[in-house]
Structure 1
């Protein structure tokens, strides 16, 4: 790994950032600075991460909200901890109920049906309780102030806000969607770049969560409001579902890639896909970054890993294979044999039996956090609980209605989840957190960032700014327009269906913080494809 600030093989819009006492990197400047303020008040990296995450529900509602799910990888005292903050399907939500509602092939994207129990408020409280230094009330205060007093919209935020409003105005016709418009486009007006927006209901909700350590959301006043609204509009979520929820501490999974351990959250997250793909490509030597063969082999490995993930990843209790089987060297060798000179249409293998926000935070004491939080598709389901600012996620859309599928919908089950935090260690020491948000782009972004960092020695900013590719289906590969034309042409000759994208949004938004093991200096990179920002001390 090369942390040289001058290592920029592709055009970069930002310089790499250095600090010593603390660093917070995320997609919205106000949220990153809120986390840094908490560090300066005596909080640690965990407090800073919670403060930033809560603030993001206010200042970037186009990607996440109080009704989100989240996951975290937390490095404390020389050990990596994992927290699964995703919720389960309501007890009344069954395959039969969905089909009776008129949906035969898949769950709808919007409305009451795809809403599962939001895990984020409970996860904030759990993280604070186990690792935080400051009271949750103090940690959530910056988010509460922004919700009450308002903030000016940043360019990327305003673009996606207007895009959502235009789409929702066509799609959302029922009364259950009225609170979304009342909350996010009051008076029929969408906030523009630089205009102020506030949400008193959001502030009130955050204060209740802070004062009760999230119990108000799962057992008290907020749970009652959620239950009442879902019953009124024929939804399935109930107070009993909320009360039954518990965030879950989990053991992170990893593979060793060229001497570095790459860590991910285990299923129901899709980090397994990134690890399987890395396990496949570690059998190759990549000598040149801008080589057609380098791109081709990464793409083919990712396709093979992705189809496995889509077949097997779900709530661990329902998986027909386990992570060890999919991440075994034996299985990686078998999958690697399928990669030739031409693009293939991938099929799942048979292992040997046996809208999202991301943030990274670090403090001067060595604690580091990789944290991701999402409503899934932009604002989520389109369901907002009246007067609360709670925008509910639509994670249930990922469930299968095929009862034989590993990810088949069942009451109380957690679905396949796209959001994944990443973490890097070497020889038992923390290197640092990384992540690239963006739906099914996420494991692909993780693979590319790891390869850029380890194989080609790019610093955090250069690793993020490098041109990206994204596999979508079959042989279709989307590429950024600044990827070298000769590589795109050669990939096309190898059978890849290449589509050049004019916008960077589909390729995800990443953040990285590495720690120099000798000096303790923090080195950060933030996403140039959005309003990315690093707050540093």
Structure 2
């Protein structure tokens, strides 16, 4: 009998259904800003970019101006999928010899051999060239309809209001307080005399807030001068100066050379549906191989059973073995990823699936003192050992795990992705199979129990899976059982939108306390006046 069997509460987060646009994200406040952009006449791209900037103020430890990521865009009129890659790149003058091994194993997401002073994990030397601002700017310019300053203004308003300290934000800050305390500029934003802030115990009333003054001023500056100001203007100069004064490699030249890329998606047929992912260094290509592995197997039935999860586990174990051997990821993922995912659909059927990240929670843990930007620790994506497929080197693109995905079928389309490091593409894989192979609604698929295989060692089972399924998996594989809980998240955190006919659906991770899907029609009566 499962030791979690006595856990009797049931958590549900119903999918939102609407003929208007919908944004699904890991933070409801940010999703509301995207939905309101559509109320004002914007499309799904406007909504996604607005939401992504808002997340920098509402969920700053997950993503922001100092990070990177990628997005897939479905253009309904053209029936085309576009990819914008704004992943991070290592600085051009980075010296791999400056990251000597110290013995032991690193303590963050990937158990690389430990580096002296954790230089690849913490502080200025862990910072890669961020791509988020250029990627969001390119998406808005090419496929959006609203002005740049309109997309950033909600983020400015949220940053000016300050970061709300409720129980969840207090928990997240506490989990990184020791590392944040190493950097005075970071401690001044997130800590109280070196300690995590405490939420109020009152049942009613506004939560205390943390001031984000530096970020607010930087967002205002970006709104006025445009996205390339981050890479070529006065802002680029102060970013590079702060990083180099703290001992990092990021330079003005690195920023000026950075360009987000528009790529052709990889597309694969799966039982008559087409699955689109980003090519190259992310989780999407590996996920397509997993679908190829199960494409010839009979998964028929009303609900996935023991044979289904056996097939899932075998395919994921096989493709991860290949991924680790050829792409150089680590042997076992640990910790919590600092990634966020959002998906958006508008009333015309345009869709966006967008993942953006700082990599670890709070990224490098370094808030730049002049600009207030929390920077990534993208250097941690690289193997610090020389001579491996993903070894650390200058001017090299980072190997990421995010997997924004679009699936088109004869009934419609679904756009989704997740946060959760190496747990991401197995979650996307499960949800797409639930929808395609078992005809689940988006609501059913998001609530249904999953397994996670994010390496070659172990199959992690949701304790909510039927006993017969768990028993069969235990008899076949090295397994571990865990509940789908709030913190830490044992499974990835997905957000998705679905289009069927002229009806839209949106849903987000059931167990994430802040995630939600928000429809434009629900925000129509609450739209603030846009400040010119």
Is 1:42 aligned to 2:26, yes or no? no
Map 1:199-218 to 2 at 5 A.
Answer: 199-218=212-231
Q: Indicate yes or no: 2:60 matched with 1:61.
A: yes
> What secondary structure is seen at the aligned counterpart in 2 of 1:70?
strand
Rate the CA distance shift 1:33–1:386 in 2: closer, same or farther, 3 A: same
Q: CA deviation at 1:200?
A: 1.5
SS at match of 2:495: strand
User: What pairs with 1:59-458 in structure 2 (closer than 5 Å)?
Assistant: 59-76=58-75, 77-99=78-100, 105=113, 108-153=120-165, 155-165=167-177, 167-168=178-179, 173=182, 177-188=183-194, 190-193=196-199, 194-288=207-301, 289-313=303-327, 355-426=338-409, 431-458=413-440
Deviation at 1:309, TM superposition (A): 2.1
Q: CA deviation at 1:372?
A: 0.8
Q: Kindly tell me: are residues 458 and 100 of structure 1, through their superposed partners in 2, closer, same or farther at Cα, counting changes over 3 Å?
A: closer
Following superposition, the deviation at residue 220 of structure 1 comes to: 2.0
Q: Distance in 2 between matches of 1:442 and 1:502?
A: 15
Separation in structure 2 between the aligned mates of residue 473 and residue 364 of structure 1, nearest angstrom: 39
Moved more, 446-455 or 288-297: 288-297
2:511 pairs with 1:532: no
Measured after TM superposition, the shift of residue 97 of structure 1 is 2.9
Three-state SS of the structure 1 residue aligned to 2:360 is coil
Q: Matched residues in 2 for 1:207 and 1:404: separation? A: 44
1:245 positional shift: 0.2
Deviation at 1:409, TM superposition (A): 2.2
Shift of 1:112: 2.1
Question: Is residue 412–residue 500 contact of structure 2 (8 Å, CA) maintained in 1?
Answer: no
Distance 2:457 2:474 in 1: 10
Q: Deviations over 1:91-111 (max 9, x none)?
A: 121322323999994663222
Quick one: distance in 1 between partners of 2:271 and 2:11? 26
1: CA distance, partners of 2:478 / 2:507: 31
For these two proteins, the number of residue pairs brought into alignment is 482
Q: 1:469-488 to 2 correspondence within 5 Å?
A: 469-488=451-470
Partner of 1:342: none
Distance 1:402 1:101 in 2: 11
CA distance in 2, matches of 1:413, 1:458: 41
Q: What's the CA shift string for 1:18-57, capped at 9, x where partnerless?
A: 1112111111111010001111112111111011000011
Q: Aligned partners of 1:406, 1:430: CA distance in 2, in Å?
A: 39
Number of the residue aligned with 1:52: 51
Is 1:515 the counterpart of 2:499 in the alignment?
A: yes
Query: What is the CA RMSD across the aligned residues, in angstroms?
Result: 2.5
1:151–1:196 contact (8 Å) kept in structure 2: yes
Write out per-residue CA displacement over residues 254-309 of structure 1, whole angstroms, 9 at most, x where no aligned residue.
22111111111111112111111011011111134342221121012111112222
Q: Distance in 2 between matches of 1:483 and 1:156?
A: 27
Q: Compare 94-103 and 460-469 and name the one that shifted more.
A: 94-103
1:400 to 1:451, Cα distance in 2 relative to 1, 3 A: same
Structure 1: segments with no counterpart, 5+ residues: 1-9, 316-344, 347-354
Q: Matched residue of 2:48: which SS?
A: helix
Instruction: Provide the secondary structure at the position in 2 that maps to 1:506.
Output: coil
Return the alpha-carbon distance in structure 1 between the equivalents of residues 147 and 312 of structure 2. Answer: 45
Structure-2 separation of matches of 1:272 and 1:378: 25
Partners of 1:75 and 1:81 within 8 A in 2: yes
Three-state SS of the structure 1 residue aligned to 2:470 is helix
Asked if 1:462 is matched to 2:475, the reply is: no
CA-to-aligned-CA distance 1:400-424 (integer Å, 9 cap, x gap): 2344323222211101112221111
8 Å CA contact retained: 1:314, 1:414: no
1:209-244 Cα offsets, whole Å, 9 max, x none, are 222222221122222222222222221111111111
Q: CA deviation at 1:367?
A: 1.4
SS of match in other structure, 1:140: helix
Displacement of 1:189 in angstroms is 5.0
Cα distance in 2 for partners of 1:17, 1:399 equals 39
Give the structure-2-normalised TM-score.
0.85
Shift in Å at residue 13 of structure 1? 0.4
